[in-house]
Amino acid sequence: AGGPQGQPSRKPGIPGVGAIIAVASGKGGVGKSTTAVNLALGLQANGLKVGILDADIYGPSMPRLLGISGRPETVSGRIMKPMENYGLKVMSIGFLVDEETPMIWRGPMVMSALTQMLREVEWGELDVLVVDMPPGTGDAQLTMAQQVPLAGAVIVSTPQDLALIDARKGLHMFRKVDVPLLGIIENMSYFIAPDTGTRYDIFGHGGARREAERLGVPFLGEIPLHMQIREMSDAGTPVTISEPDGVHAKIYRDIAAEVW
Ligand code: ADP
């Protein structure tokens, strides 16, 4: 392991944490969180010590995706112990508020919640901390990209043009704050009918690869649209855990190896 050397960050790092990597998308619903969790587990399967920070304050999904409930323990003062499942250390605003409570925070409150989840958590020794960013490329995301000492960012997109336009905005956002772009992942890239084996490019195919080439950033891989990926996410046992020898787990491990 050991990825590209990022630019020296002006923000203080987190003691014990090697690299912080953001997983971002231009818009919601493209599979950013699903990809982030399987990527984190893929990095772990490749031998790294990994944590995941759910920074999607308005729509935290890590508790459900990882099948974790309950509240983090406080160790001393405000310092919390991360929750843990499948060997992954996890922190999410979803552990701290009710699932039904709508988040109506303003920007500064979001930032202080995020800072606490980042800096007042006993992460211990980690090679990589994956940050599941909120979708979009507005002010909140920009602030976050500026506040968090990121070693790099990964953009998740679906293949069609509209999603790619948004992904491009994400790319420019990270460039603006000097965060190195580790590359683009194409999610829902193709569909293979389980009964006939016929392949369908439901949202088109290859758009993200072309875009990556055009923008001069690495293309990290293609993830198919598959019912099992969705079902296992819903069940709290991501496909990298439930079917570690399966084809999808391998895809995520291979992508993880490209990322870091
Ligand atoms: P986002 O974080 O971008 O909003 P999610 O990760 O929550 O997106 O995914 C949106 C929905 O799509 C979820 O129901 C998820 O299970 C499903 N999904 C994501 N990626 C895939 C995939 N490759 N195949 C099948 N379903 C997927």
- Look at 126 and 4; give whichever has higher pLDDT: 126
145, 22 Cβ separation under 8 angstroms: yes
- 83 alpha-carbon distance from chain centroid: 17
Residue of 230, 243, 247 with the most ligand 1 atoms within 8 Å of its CB, for mutation? 230
Q: List the beta strands (DSSP E) in the chain.
A: 17-24, 50-54, 74-76, 79-80, 83-85, 88-92, 126-132, 152-157, 181-187, 191-192, 199-200, 219-223
Instruction: Report residues whose beta carbon is within 6 angstroms of any ligand 1 atom.
Output: 25, 28-34, 61, 135, 187-188, 223, 225-226, 229-230, 233
State ipTM: 0.99
- Look at 102 and 84; give whichever has higher pLDDT: 84
Q: What mean pLDDT do residues 117-136 have?
A: 95
Distances from the Cα of 181 to the Cα of 125, 150, 217, angstroms: 24, 10, 7
Q: What mean pLDDT do residues 141-147 have?
A: 82
Tokens 């999808």 sit on residue: 248
Cα–Cα distance, 41 to 46 (Å, whole number):
9
pLDDT at position 145 is: 85
- Look at 65 and 204; give whichever has higher pLDDT: 65
pLDDT tens by residue, 108-119? 788 888 889 999
Determine which residue's CA is closest to atom 12 belonging to ligand 1. Answer: 31
- pLDDT tops 90 at residue 183: yes
pLDDT tens by residue, 16-75? 999 999 999 988 899 999 999 999 999 999 999 999 999 988 889 999 999 999 999 999
182 pLDDT band, cuts 50/70/90, is very high
Calculate how far, in angstroms, residue 15's C-alpha sits from the geometric centre of ligand 1: 32
Angle 88-92-98 from CA coordinates, rounded to 5°: 130
Return the DSSP state at 93.
Answer: G
Residue 33 has phi, psi (to 5 degrees) of: -70, -40
- pLDDT tops 50 at residue 236: yes
- pLDDT tops 80 at residue 106: no
Question: Which two structure tokens, joined as six digits, stand for 104?
Answer: 């109506």
pLDDT at position 6 is: 46
10 pLDDT band, cuts 50/70/90, is low
**pTM recorded for the entire structure:** 0.94
Residue of 34, 202, 255 with the most ligand 1 atoms within 8 Å of its CB, for mutation? 34
Calculate how far, in angstroms, residue 173's C-alpha sits from the geometric centre of ligand 1: 23
Determine which residue's CA is closest to atom 20 belonging to ligand 1. Answer: 31
Cα–Cα distance, 167 to 25 (Å, whole number):
6
Mean pLDDT taken over the chain: 90
- pLDDT tops 80 at residue 2: no
| Residue 33 labeled ligand binder | yes
105 pLDDT band, cuts 50/70/90, is confident
Residue of 233, 240, 242 with the most ligand 1 atoms within 8 Å of its CB, for mutation? 233
220 pLDDT band, cuts 50/70/90, is very high
Question: How many percent of the chain have pLDDT more than 90?
Answer: 68
pLDDT at position 212 is: 92
Cα–Cα distance, 221 to 251 (Å, whole number):
8
